[in-house]
Structure 1
């Protein structure tokens, strides 16, 4: 039985929506479908101001650019995340400062506090696998008087906020809640990913949600971010294409990172049924793994629910107790021979050539390495049948027996 690690939802609803885009709207780049997806995103999370862009990475760069982050500045990030969390900082000439994580895979606020300097402009917590970070602890750090005293404002936006910006890397956590509050409304700015393997996909894409405190006018800031996403142009191509709408201005140095309608179409068809159909189905798959694997003393179940904090069920980050990195790799080889797609999330950045060459050392992040060395991500996506889930679990169990000799 061949089971890939991930498959996007391409069903009749997606096809019908795409047919409408191609035959009725007369528009392919940013237009009515992007606008509709932004409204659906706002409706789903119950507030905020949303802007769709062409990737998580470019969306995070846009927000940091808006906040004035650049050369000489520092941004605190966890060491256990995909490299995009660091690259969005580096692409602006700033320095990512990595800190270790906790056992629940999320950034350690105490380590974050120790990493703050007068150069720190932002922190990017990562909801790894879809499980939210401890945002109360993060907010306690950035709002601590001694931390705020260190903050140096270099522009009007920084002066208005008066502290370190909290930019959530919620690439995995659309549909998650932190203490009952939907991800998207927990921090200053949130960026979601709509990449092909995510819970909602546009093929490539991302969504920015602005939720800044007073005295910011969130609608006004979002409007400016929209301009920045279009090369600093104060009209979209769709607006310019309307009869008599040709005149425009370039009001700032922006980026070209808008989402096309072709991409938004796929996500639009999916998000309309995400709450009532797609997300509950992912939760059911997740719970199957929890029930099936909890009886094995070697299986470490990933965090997914505590009180009113709940995952988006994006990744099932299974960990195998008391095995080495080499044994984990051998387990993956054995599982792959049975044509079951598994993955590892993620190779820690200090182990990657780019970051090693910049002086980051894995020894500085012991919890990150301990979490990584025995982690195997199991397939979680809509359409996985109970028969397939049973086969995945049996394959994983057999692979453990093979490498452990038990």
Structure 2
């Protein structure tokens, strides 16, 4: 049996929606993008949402909006995909990495140790779809308000460190009974091909700023900035007699095209109404099976104030080394089951090593990584395939211990 790791969920509704974009004669940013933005707001209750060409772009856009650049620091977890750090680097700021907890997410007690007068933002990451401890994060930044030195008008208005949630994995997750998207100042979702909801490539920036900000005004600014700082998008300019525009910001080209947004327009309602529950059922199947295994460390799923989006099933094997984990993966792969590892901690990657980061300073991140194996989890999986996956994993682990 051959089981891929994360194929996209493409059904007839997606095909019809994409065809309608093609047949409309308009394939770049236009009505489909606007509809996707409306749907994200509808289902997450975020006040405003801007769709962009990737979650990485969304993070950069948020950082630039806050005036973050050279000389500034942004706190991130050591356990995340490289894009979290690269967004900080691309705006000219310095990433400050902290260790994580055993649930994979940023260790809030470590944040307090590294906040300085240079700190302008924190980017917590909801690894595998499990929300971070946002109340604790806000308590820390409010406690440290006296250190905050604004150097931009938006920083003056907010008066504290900005919280940008890297929720690439967590659309559909909840924190204190609210969906991610309405929890932090800015939330960035990914719609990459392997995510719970996809547009092939793309992302969404949910804007949830407190008074005195007007979220609609900030949406208008970010939308303009994501289109090279141009006052009219191409769809508006294409209308008869409406060609004249202006460039009012030194913007970037980060917009999402309609042909990609169409995939998300078809997927998003079905996700919240059906396929998220499919993921939950698979997650629970794995939980029920692996909780009987003494060697298994189960990933977080539900607590009193959190529910996971079930993006990844991040199984860990007790008391094994990195090389032993790799050997187990080889055995699983030879049986036709594609598994993965999420993630290599940033200090293990060459770029960040050269910047002076050392994995020895992030022991929890390394311990999580060295024993982690991500199992397939997507709506198309059948009962027979799930049974094959768990038996294959079990045989590979138990023959290695």
Q: TM above 0.5, one fold?
A: yes
Cα deviations across residues 328-357 of structure 1 (Å, max 9, x unaligned)? 000000000001010000001100000001
2:241 and 2:377 mapped to 1: Cα distance? 49
1:370 and 1:213 mapped to 2: Cα distance? 38
What corresponds to 2:2 in structure 1? 2
1:38 and 2:37 are equivalent in the alignment: yes
What corresponds to 1:104 in structure 2? 103
What corresponds to 2:53 in structure 1? 54
Q: CA deviation at 1:308?
A: 3.5
| Residues paired across the two proteins, number | 401
Q: CA deviation at 1:78?
A: 0.3
What corresponds to 1:200 in structure 2? 197
- 4+ residue runs over 3 A deviation: none
Q: Please list, as runs of the form range in 1=range in 2, the aligned pairs for 1:5-404 lying within 5 A after superposition.
A: 5-23=5-23, 25-144=24-143, 147-404=144-401
Structure 1 residue matching 2:96: 3-state secondary structure: strand
1:308 and 1:149 mapped to 2: Cα distance? 30
- TM-score normalised to structure 1 length: 0.98
1:47 and 1:59 mapped to 2: Cα distance? 15
2:101 and 2:247 mapped to 1: Cα distance? 45
2:99 and 2:283 mapped to 1: Cα distance? 26
Q: CA deviation at 1:188?
A: 0.2
1:291 and 1:387 mapped to 2: Cα distance? 16
Q: CA deviation at 1:272?
A: 1.8
Structure 2 residue matching 1:265: 3-state secondary structure: helix
2:242 and 2:302 mapped to 1: Cα distance? 50
- TM-score normalised to structure 2 length: 0.99
Task: List runs of 5+ in structure 1 lacking aligned partners.
Answer: none
1:133 and 1:207 mapped to 2: Cα distance? 19
1:268 and 1:251 mapped to 2: Cα distance? 30
Structure 2 residue matching 1:306: 3-state secondary structure: coil
Q: CA deviation at 1:114?
A: 0.4
- Over aligned residues, Cα RMSD in angstroms? 0.6
Cα deviations across residues 232-275 of structure 1 (Å, max 9, x unaligned)? 00111101111111111101111100000011011111002111
2:83 and 2:27 mapped to 1: Cα distance? 27
Cα deviations across residues 139-198 of structure 1 (Å, max 9, x unaligned)? 001111xx1111110011000000000000000000000111110100000000000000
Q: Could you tell which deviates more after superposition, 270-279 or 387-396?
A: 270-279
Structure 2 residue matching 1:305: 3-state secondary structure: coil
